[in-house]
């Protein structure tokens, strides 16, 4: 059934767009706020659990579908709140039939993108955004060309998963994994990011294992340390992209604040506190960071900060777009991978997907911010 659904969507699917709605979304209410609203309207507090369960499971399309609630309560909720903080505008499916991207409109008219990445029926991973735009300005990333538009609320992060839950429901599937690798730097929006994580792992809400969540950072050291102290065994992915400060600073401005050694030391602290292996993301750029000497330097840098078993290097072929870089040859990328493996470091050369709909690593971008244009 899933294949038939994808096949029918190789052409972009467009949704009817509603006018801007200033009501808060129910997903942005804390449990305490919802209980307070219910008390004000003469409803028992236990209804909050029912409403939040419906909202986070995300298979219903609106308050009217919550048939275990009295009609008067459903009507009151619909008058006071929106069902979702994001509205789909356009959806595209890749020709590989394993990647789908949606453009979502926020209540103030700004836009973000989110990606669904099914994997041979074994799992359904969603790539979520934490900011509209991104301030980090990594040279190889299209999102960074936008600059920062604004932070997302916890509800706007969670509702990206809810959107895909509703899309998957007809085929009996659910979101199984979430990666915070979309638009924005999660640790620059720490409170909302963490609130969304707690909603995802809450057994009374989404009930996703924290081991199926991955937060990716450009190397915001205080954020890495803060997450390590939360008591959540979440996967951490660190965008490294070079083993030395001059090269990394050229392609990642954040390196001027936290250099390679700072980032590797923070990653080592995270491993010790959480007992979780850290993944280092490494976009391969021809003539910039792909030499075999660079691979050996990368291996040495990682091993300086702990056992090789504590690290995994995810090698990502550059996706055409920002910065005008080139992708190395397959032979070059495979040789780079082999050098790391020969030094005892687990390294994987990622198979790129979704490039034809600009859903690959570093390709998410909407027509706002510094790159403003007509959507």
Residues designated catalytic:
113, 361
Compute the Cα dihedral for 250, 251, 253, 255 and give only its sign: negative
Q: Please state, in angstroms and rounded to a whole number, the distance separating the CA atoms of residues 196 and 185.
A: 14
- 231 contacts 251 by C-beta, under 8 angstroms: no
SS3 (DSSP) at 341: helix
The DSSP output letter for 291 is: S
Residue 239 to residues 67, 90, 109, 185, 282, Cα–Cα distance (Å): 45, 29, 30, 11, 6
Q: What is the distance between the alpha carbons of residues 83 and 266, in angstroms, rounded to a whole number?
A: 39
Distance CA 217, CA 136 (A): 10
203: helix, strand or coil: coil
Q: Where are the alpha helices (DSSP H) in 11-96?
A: 31-40, 47-57, 71-80
- Dist. CA 333–CA 329, nearest whole Å: 6
Q: Which residues contact 293 (CB under 8 A, 6 or more apart)?
A: none
Q: In the structure encoding, which two tokens stand for residue 202, read together?
A: 């809450």
Q: What is the DSSP letter of 239?
A: E
């Amino acid at each position: 059934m899933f294949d038939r659904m994808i096949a029918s969507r190789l052409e972009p699917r467009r949704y009817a767009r509603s006018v801007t709605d200033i009501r808060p979304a129910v997903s942005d209410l804390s449990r305490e706020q919802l209980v307070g609203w219910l008390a004000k309207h003469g409803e028992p507090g236990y209804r909050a659990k029912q409403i939040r369960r419906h909202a986070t499971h995300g298979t219903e399309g609106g308050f009217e579908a919550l048939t275990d609630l009295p009609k008067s309560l459903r009507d009151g909720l619909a008058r006071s709140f929106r069902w979702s903080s994001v509205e789909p505008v356009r959806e595209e499916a890749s020709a590989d039939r394993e990647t789908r991207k949606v453009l979502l409109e926020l209540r103030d008219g700004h836009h973000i993108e989110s990606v669904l990445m099914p994997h041979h029926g074994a799992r359904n991973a969603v790539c979520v955004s934490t900011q509209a735009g991104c301030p980090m300005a990594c040279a190889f990333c299209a999102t960074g060309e936008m600059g920062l538009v604004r932070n997302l609320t916890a509800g706007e992060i969670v509702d990206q998963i809810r959107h895909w839950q509703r899309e998957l429901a007809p085929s009996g599937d659910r979101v199984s994994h979430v990666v915070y690798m979309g638009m924005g730097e999660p640790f620059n929006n720490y409170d909302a990011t963490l609130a969304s994580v707690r909603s995802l792992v809450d057994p009374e809400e989404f009930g996703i294992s924290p081991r199926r969540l991955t937060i990716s950072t450009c190397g915001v050291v205080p954020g890495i340390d803060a997450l390590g102290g939360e008591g959540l065994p979440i996967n951490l992915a660190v965008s490294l992209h070079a083993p030395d400060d001059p090269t990394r600073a050229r392609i990642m401005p954040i390196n001027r604040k936290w250099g390679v050694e700072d980032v590797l030391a923070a990653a080592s602290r995270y491993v010790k506190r959480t007992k979780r292996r850290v993944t280092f993301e490494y976009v391969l750029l021809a003539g910039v960071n792909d030499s075999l000497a660079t691979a050996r330097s990368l291996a040495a840098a990682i091993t300086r900060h702990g056992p090789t078993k504590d690290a995994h290097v995810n090698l990502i072929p550059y996706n055409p777009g920002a910065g005008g870089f080139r992708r190395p040859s397959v032979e070059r990328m495979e040789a780079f991978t082999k050098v790391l493996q020969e030094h005892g470091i687990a390294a994987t050369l990622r198979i790129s997907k979704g490039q034809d709909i600009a859903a690959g690593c570093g390709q998410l971008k909407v027509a706002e911010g510094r790159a403003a244009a007509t959507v």
